[in-house]
Amino acid sequence: MEEIDRQILGLLADDGRMSFTDLARETGLSVSAVHQRVRRLQKRGLVTGFTAQIDHELIGLPLTAFVSIKPIDPAAPDDAPDRLAGLAEIEACHSVAGDESYILKVRVASPNALEDLLQRIRAAANVATRTTVVLSTPWEGRRPLL
């Protein structure tokens, strides 16, 4: 991948709805050239999609937490992601190295909802949980080095 594709990725990470016309102006290419490059970036899988960024506080999910989980029976087959996929409050699921197996990022409406979710997580995946509550988020989703 080269310089101009990195530039396009950066521009689209900053503004996912930027028009091809504007992308062309910024990159110095023609509209059709940018268009083709963006399509190629999607086809190659470098761009997996576009999404609206939503303020979770304002839509009624003000409480974020990280939940680390550890199987109660270490001999049981590890299908935790499948078992947890149905819980919509879980925004992300990472398999990790270390004492615990997975780190989940969850969003809920209240402490009560968190307690309820933790019970559902333990029941669904037969795991112990360790929860770290987020107090504030100085920044999130910042674009890494391109």
Partner DNA sequence: GCTGAAAGCATCTCGAC
Partner DNA sequence: GTCGAGATGCTTTCAGC
Q: Where along the sequence are the contacts to DNA (CB under 7 A)? A: 4, 19-22, 29-33, 35-37, 40
Q: Which is nearer to a copy of itself, 12 or 33 (CB)?
A: 12
Q: For the chain, how far is it from start to end, CA to CA, in angstroms?
A: 11
Question: At its nearest, how many Å lie between a copy of itself and the CB of residue 15?
Answer: 6
Residue 17's contacts (CB-CB under 8 Å, 6 or more residues apart) are 50
Q: What angle do CA 125, 131, 136 make, to 5 degrees?
A: 135
Q: Which is nearer to a copy of itself, 72 or 146 (CB)?
A: 146
CB atoms inside a 10 Å sphere around CB 62:
13
- Using DSSP's 3-state secondary structure scheme, residue 16 falls into coil
Identified binder of a copy of itself from the candidate list 21, 30, 44, 123, rule CB under 8 A: 44
Question: Which residues between 66 and 125 bind a copy of itself (CB under 8 A)?
Answer: 66, 81, 85, 88-98, 103, 107
Q: Is 146 in the site for a copy of itself (CB under 8 A)?
A: yes
